[in-house]
Amino acid sequence: MMPKVLRFLQKTVFYLLISGVAMAITLPFLWMISTSLKQDEAIMILPIRWIPRRISFQSYRDIFVIYPLLRAALNSFTVSVLTTLITLLSASMAGFAFAKFDFWGKNQLFLLFLATMMVPGAVTMIPNFLVLRNLHLINTFAGLAIPSIYNVWALFLVKQNIMSLPEAFFEAAVIDGGSAFTLYARIVLPLVKPILATLAVITFMGTWNDFLWPLIVLSGDVTKMTLPLALNAINSRWGEHWNMLMAGNLISIMPIVVIYLLAQKYFESGISVGGLKA
């Protein structure tokens, strides 16, 4: 009897703890929803009213009418898709080369690439900006996306995943006269879909939420500002309208939630295979 009681108490404590953690994580999100549905005068009322007495969708209308949030969202979508495609293409090609081709200095070059992961991103922002300025790519979406062609973390995951593929597939393709591009397009890409899907979601999420790099590259061009820049402008111009700011933040996270839910099943298999097998 005692072991059953002890297991029951352990499960009870465990579920209480994870419920408390889940509630602590969920509360800010619920507060955003509540604030976005309040009128200006109801936001600062104490004690806090989680459920507004008078629900208003005025902030959602104002966010599109007063400020061009839709244009900023389309800009963010364009940059995120472009950056994701560049990252997947460059990482898959480089990973294939490092995993299946032998060339002089391959291991040393790969170690050099991995060593660059220890360099903080803030250190490379000024050199990247100077290069883009010399190429006349400032205030362009291409200037935002081109630096993503060098993503060591993505390269490492794809390379490890390709190395775990059976060598017999490649040997059979070579015997049939398959070229390097045939091996890449018909063997590598179909077999590494999980890791590519994982990288696609992570890259899209990171680019969608990125603030500092667009702030540097776009240099105040209102017509090309991304969603984080637009929300920051709302915070500076209409700082007291918290309901409109919360509505904008809720709208900005909806695409991320949808994309994550659609690709959730790829995360565990993609990262575990790409990171652990060699």
Together in a domain, 43 and 146: no
- Clarify whether residues 46 and 126 are in a common domain: no
Same domain, 147 and 91: yes
CATH number of the structural domain spanning residue 194: 1.10.3720.10
CB 250 within 8 A of CB 33: yes
**Are 130 and 142 members of one domain?**
yes
Same domain for 263 and 202: yes
Euclidean distance between CA atoms 46 and 27, whole angstroms: 17
Element (H, E) at 205: helix 193-209
Are residues 269 and 152 part of one domain? yes
- What is the Cα–Cα distance from 98 to 184, expressed in whole angstroms? 12
Sequential pLDDT tens for the chain (278 residues): 567 777 777 888 888 899 888 888 888 888 888 887 877 666 666 677 677 777 777 778 878 877 778 888 899 999 999 999 999 999 999 888 888 888 888 888 888 888 888 888 778 888 888 888 898 888 888 888 888 888 888 888 888 888 888 888 787 878 877 788 888 888 888 888 888 888 888 899 889 988 888 888 887 667 888 888 888 877 665 556 777 788 888 888 888 888 877 777 766 565 555 444 43
Q: Do 164 and 30 share a structural domain?
A: no
pTM, two decimal places: 0.80
Tally of domains in the chain: 2
Single-letter amino acid code for the residue at 140: T
With CA atoms as reference, report the closest residue to 89 among 234, 200, 244.
200
Asked whether 69 and 84 are in contact (CB, 8 A), the reply is: no
Both tokens of 225, joined, read 């500002």
Range of the structural domain that residue 29 is part of = 2-56
Cα gap 135→147, rounded to integer Å: 13
What are the two backbone dihedrals, phi and then psi, of residue 239, each rounded to the nearest 5 degrees? -60, -25
